[in-house]
Amino acid sequence: MLSANTTMYKKIRLLGIVCCCFTSLVQAQSDNSPYSRYGLGDRLPGQSIVQRGMGGLAAAYFDYSSINYVNPASYGRISLTTLDLGFELTNRTLRAGEPSRKFSSYSPNISYLQVAFPLKKNGGWGMNLGLNPITRVGYKINSSDSLRRPNFSQPMALNTLYEGNGGAYEAHIGTGFLVARGLTAGFNFGYVFGSKDHSTRTLISDTTSYYYKSNYEKNTSYNGVKFTGGLQYVAKLDKTSYLRLGAYGSLQQNLNASEDLVINTFEYSQSGAIDTVDIIDRKKDVSGNIKYPASYGAGLIYDKVGKWMIGIDYAAEKWSSFRTYESKDMVQDSWEVRLGGQVAPRQGKTYWSNVAYRAGFAYGQDIVYINNQKLPKWTVSAGASLPMRKPAYTNQFSMINIMVEYGNRGNNNNPLRENFFRIGVGLALTDIWFLKRKYD
């Protein structure tokens, strides 16, 4: 029989391997979305794989085999130590009209890394440590145009390359505790950090004259604290029915920022590297701040214990207050309504009778606001929890959680319409890690 120390070492080693994979997958990104140019980038789903299988329910949700880090009040119901990892693969398709064009890209990512554990023997107080990406910047667009000059019959060809990279991450520590019967409260103290790098390179082709290529590049890094609070309440309706209520929110935060700006002319070398010809303007380490918007959410879940649950959420973010060095961007307040549910396993003799099944739908308004046109979005999802082993033989209640999402951003009134398809896999290792064995 393996000792407790041996089991612990294996889990710590697994955690180290996952951290290395996190770096590798971030470097493997090949996403391309022009909408990630705005704000701090594309907003990524903030829920676990389990919750996203139900449309993203978060306000009133809690579960022993996964971690709800959106509402930290759920930590107050943690009874076992849980290591929760999320992986996903996203396929994105962009469609533009006049002329009709189509572009597809994919991006593998780690969605989150969470470790939660109880701080009180009989429950009622828990803690969570986590790291997750919250935005992503990734686009590369080539635009061709012509420039006519007075007294010249031939126009000049103008090619412009727009490119952006970066994203934001949040590392957090949170705790939740029982306030009164049925009522829990919780707090997340987060550290937000990231960067957004934008460049515009222009090439002019002319048969009568030669022009150097031009480059406008701005690199911004930022960091700061973020505080999130939440409440959850469970009301007993009858012997097997409960009504769960939840709410969470965070205030507007100021992030410290540092910006580098360079405007220069350049040429490409034979190897494809950029050789600077002349620097027109350069600014380095310009200090400022970024106003990160407030957000909030509320929802309820009707839980028929051991059979099924159904719930609804409303979430919003105040992106109209977003500022970078006091400058506005083409972003607006966003909102989303989420509806989802789960059918609980029947605890039968066959493997599939012990699987939980989920489905959900979400509809809302994106943060991007271009040319006075709003950007609607919707997502449909489904998911399941696959038990890894029978808990009767061990202290483990580990699950493989899977989900699929299909969604759309924009409509025929927008210059770009975006469809995406995501496959997500979550690994929830739930165990009594710190149990002292009496016998080996």
Sign (positive or negative) of CA dihedral 34, 252, 244, 431: positive
CB 7 within 8 A of CB 81: no
With CA atoms as reference, report the closest residue to 428 among 375, 384, 392.
384
Task: Check residue 64 and give its pLDDT.
Answer: 78
In the chain, what percentage of residues exceed pLDDT 90?
Answer: 63
DSSP string, 408-421: EE--TTSSEEEEEE
Task: Check residue 215 and give its pLDDT.
Answer: 93
CATH superfamily for domain 4-208+219-256+290-431: Outer membrane protein transport protein (OMPP1/FadL/TodX) (2.40.160.60)
With CA atoms as reference, report the closest residue to 27 among 184, 138, 105.
138
**Mean pLDDT score, 336-346:** 92
Model confidence at 9, pLDDT cuts 50, 70, 90, reads: very low
Task: Check residue 1 and give its pLDDT.
Answer: 42
CB 16 within 8 A of CB 96: no
pLDDT digits (tens, 9 = 90+) for 144-198: 887 776 666 677 788 999 999 999 999 999 999 999 999 999 999 999 999 999 9
pLDDT digits (tens, 9 = 90+) for 253-286: 999 999 999 999 988 888 878 888 899 999 999 9
Structure-block tokens of residue 101: 């064009």
Task: Check residue 7 and give its pLDDT.
Answer: 45
Q: Is the pLDDT of residue 299 over 80?
A: yes
Task: Check residue 15 and give its pLDDT.
Answer: 46
- Residue with more model confidence, 25 or 395: 395
**Mean pLDDT score, 196-205:** 91
Domain ranges of the chain: 4-208+219-256+290-431
Task: Check residue 6 and give its pLDDT.
Answer: 47
Task: Check residue 105 and give its pLDDT.
Answer: 86
Task: Check residue 26 and give its pLDDT.
Answer: 44
Model confidence at 250, pLDDT cuts 50, 70, 90, reads: very high
Task: Check residue 248 and give its pLDDT.
Answer: 98
d(CA 388, CA 424): 17
Q: Is the pLDDT of residue 130 over 60?
A: yes
Q: Is the pLDDT of residue 393 over 70?
A: no
For 354-389, give one letter per residue: b (16+ CB within 10 A) or e: bbbbbbbbbbbbbbbbbeeeebebebebbbbbebee
Q: Is the pLDDT of residue 22 over 50?
A: no
